[in-house]
Chain A
Amino acid sequence: MTTASDPRHGRLFAALPVQDAPAMARLHERLVDQARREGVLDVAYRTLDTPVGSLLLAATVEGLVKVAFAVQDHDAVLQRLADEVSPRILAAPARLDGVSRQLEEYFAGRRTRFDLPLDWRLSKGFRREVLTHLRDIGYGRTESYAQVAAAAGSPRAVRAVGTACATNPLPVVVPCHRVVRSDGSPGGYAGGPDAKRALLALESAA
């Protein structure tokens, strides 16, 4: 990063630390706080360790906008949020305190439904209708893709229901894992088949 041609000039600033982690932590916190107060923290995010791996949680001022599994590549997800929502993105866990608490309760088997403000902007049209309906599938229950299609008023749109579930921007919280194949096998999942099985097992155990 430095173009100093004479190595001696590098020594000039040797007394100034190149990395000062405590100062950066303090400044980052101050930046988040000021950005929030001035209304320019468009997307806040954090990660949360869960039994199905590290979850990326991102929220706008309206509510939770994205949940992503590690297999979805958190960096790639953050880049898509920058492209589709806003690049004003900071790691700012405070906005996700409520989400984190409810998810922890869910994974501990102490919560059967989420009561959170959601920002649906990453899902549109029929997919969004499907996902909205998923919230009616209760904890521990499952429905087939065909049942969900019928409930959404388009019984022939089974494949579109599959796509809606596969592109659910809010997995776990909007329970697309409760939609399974007609033969009872789990079917695909954004977090991978093991994550889907783990969530279904968690809910059937409770």
Chain B
Amino acid sequence: MRRPFEQIVAEYGPVVLRVCRAVLGPQDAEDAWSETFVSALKAYPDLPADANVEAWLVTIAHRKAVDVTRAAARRPTPVESLPERAGLAGRPEDWDGDLWRALKALPDRQRQAVAYHYLAGLPYKEIAAMCGGSTDAARRAAADGIRTLRDTYPRFTDQSGVAR
């Protein structure tokens, strides 16, 4: 028995958007979200009934994010800085630019591990299966990413009150 896809969008859409934003930043996140949910809708009737829907969606989002990152790497830089692009793809003002700057500076692996674990709640074993490498490597990538963010993203420690 599969629930109507509308319920899947309502329940998991917001968290997948947060993951896309954390992995890709404000400009490309909405494109990745759209491609993720269209792909998911197509494949949905064949999804095993006992599948972990959230992990399935994040896995698709991960593949889309990799595609988007590759496309962005091929894209000449001036295109990226055209002002109207931001208006089409998302609203960068929606969230803290400092957070994205700090996340963007991380190696892809670390940024992905941090987002998939701390935003989507995926276990490191699943993250390893998605991103390649061992479970330990995924755990290390997340830990390294968090350690760096603690230094590069001021609000991270400011708001906790205690810096470690």
Interface positions of A (Cβ within 8 A of B): 1-4, 8-20, 23-24, 26-28, 30-31, 34-35, 38, 40, 43, 45, 78-79, 81-83, 86-91
CB within 8 A of B17: which of A4, A12, A14, A23?
A23
Query: Please, how many angstroms separate the alpha-carbon atoms of A82 and B4 in the complex?
Result: 5
Quick one: given A3-B123, A79-B4, are A20 and B14 in contact (CB under 8 Å)? yes
* Nearest opposing residue in chain A for B29, CB measure: A23
Give the residues in chain A near B38, CB-CB below 8 Å.
31, 34-35, 38, 40
Are A79 and B14 touching (Cβ within 8 A)? Answer: no
Interface positions of B (Cβ within 8 A of A): 1-6, 9, 13-15, 17-18, 21-22, 30, 33-34, 37-38, 41-42, 44-45, 54, 90-91, 94-96, 98-99, 114, 117-121, 123, 146, 149, 153, 155-156, 159-160
Are B95 and A17 touching (Cβ within 8 A)? Answer: yes
Are A79 and B3 touching (Cβ within 8 A)? Answer: yes
Kindly count the residue-residue contacts between A and B in the assembled complex, taking CB atoms under 8 Å apart. 124
Nearest CB of A to B162, in Å = 9
Are A1 and B160 touching (Cβ within 8 A)? Answer: no
Q: Could you give 20 example pairs across A and B, Cβ below 8 Å?
A: A1-B54, A1-B121, A2-B118, A3-B117, A3-B123, A8-B160, A9-B118, A11-B159, A12-B149, A12-B156, A13-B119, A16-B99, A20-B17, A27-B13, A27-B30, A31-B9, A34-B38, A82-B3, A89-B5, A90-B5
Give the residues in chain B near A45, CB-CB below 8 Å.
6
Query: Please, how many angstroms separate the alpha-carbon atoms of A134 and B34 in the complex?
Result: 43
Are B13 and A34 touching (Cβ within 8 A)? Answer: no
CB within 8 A of A13: which of B13, B18, B34?
B18
Quick one: given A40-B41, A87-B5, are A15 and B96 in contact (CB under 8 Å)? yes
Extra pairs beyond A12-B99, A17-B94, A34-B34 (4, CB < 8 Å) = A13-B99, A16-B119, A78-B4, A88-B45
Are B42 and A27 touching (Cβ within 8 A)? Answer: no
Nearest CB of B to A125, in Å = 25
